[in-house]
Amino acid sequence: MSDAENLAIYDKCNNPNGHGHNYRVEVTVGGVVDTQSGMVMDLVTMDKRVRNLLDALDHRHLDREIAYFADKPSTAENIVVFLWHELAARFEGQLQHLKLYETRKNVFEYAGQ
């Protein structure tokens, strides 16, 4: 888009060099509770699955460095959908819900299609 179109749509978030945040994500999984552990999933395993993805995105210019965003802007709405697609495969049907915090007031939720 032109500079004027970007400014009209994204206002103060418009920046020719990109725009970033320190996001926070909450992941909810579901499934059968293990009778011995009392958990649906070991939390260390869950954290590793999420952390591997987040580490690959950390300090990256998403629009330029992540193929998924080659044809769509890296808005929080698109980021949470991207995270869903990536994490759904890692959690093999157990992924239930994602919540992405862009700021304290900007929160985006997704639970698949």
Q: Strand order of the sheet with strand 24-29?
A: 24-29, 95-101, 107-110
Can you read off the two tokens belonging to residue 6? Answer: 């970007």
* Catalytically annotated residue among 19, 26, 59, 92: 59
* Catalytically annotated residue among 19, 77, 97, 102: 102
Does residue 26 have an active-site annotation? no
Does residue 102 have an active-site annotation? yes
Does residue 13 have an active-site annotation? yes
Tell me, what amino acid is at 57? L
Distances (CA, A) of 76 to 3, 27, 102: 21, 15, 7
* Catalytically annotated residue among 5, 13, 26, 85: 13
The continuous run of DSSP H or E covering 25 comes out as strand 24-29
Catalytic residue positions, numbered = 13, 59, 102
